[in-house]
Structure 1
């Protein structure tokens, strides 16, 4: 008497990560402590790395030295536009003015989470 084994491979369904909200709050540094420590201790280096990960020139954030926070503000608006995140320029302006390192951390977390655009989910045929 022979035993027959049937093996089913899980099938995958592509799901895109899309939301009209930030995936983390502005002050969610405890969700990524190493990143926030890097931003706190060396914000210019962190901002340059984040800018490069976003596809912009690596040294672009260094221009904030000459123009206040214009580059940080532009990057935040660009991140919101690329990922379709709701928000307002007024709120972005307040965040950039008073919490620059938190803004860069939030943008970095968002870029990391949305960099992988397709998530494979196991599905079963019923």
Structure 2
């Protein structure tokens, strides 16, 4: 007699959010001063930390060094807008990624904390 282990993948469960706007503005640094200081003084480290929390490759933001418009920062903003249903424009994403990179990463970090997606783990059963 053999036994099989049945495992179900965890499914993300998103809390219903009533807003289709960013939870904070691009320059709302006072909401989390230590985080914004970290992003200002060491943006690459902060971006890597935020990217890891988002579930992507940790070192992905380091590729922004090679472009005029930071492609990773912009794509993370677009991805986050799609994941959370935030209405905004690619033009703003491009401007924020190019001229306000550290503020943009702070805004994304605050949004992830605000709209935390709890993961429901389903226990494995032996059958």
If the length of structure 1 is used for normalisation, what is the TM-score? 0.77
How many residues are aligned here?
104
Aligned to 2:84: 83
Distance in 1, matches of 2:76 and 2:117, equals: 20
Aligned residue in 1 for 2:34: 34
Higher radius of gyration, 1 or 2: 1
How many angstroms does 1:17 deviate by?
4.3
**Gaps (5+ residues) in structure 1?**
1-14, 118-126
Quote the Cα distance in structure 2 between the aligned partners of 1:46 and 1:35. 8
CA distance in 2, matches of 1:44, 1:17: 32
Q: Which runs of 5+ in 2 are unaligned?
A: 1-13, 119-127
Alignment of 1:29-108 (within 5 A): 29-68=29-68, 69-108=70-109
Q: CA deviation at 1:97?
A: 1.3
Residues in 1 aligned to 2:16 and 2:65: alpha-carbon distance in whole angstroms? 35
Q: CA RMSD in A?
A: 1.7
Aligned to 2:7: none
**Is the 2:15–2:115 contact (alpha carbons within 8 Å) kept by the matching residues of 1?**
no
Q: TM-score, normalised to structure 2's length? A: 0.77
Deviation at 1:16, TM superposition (A): 2.8
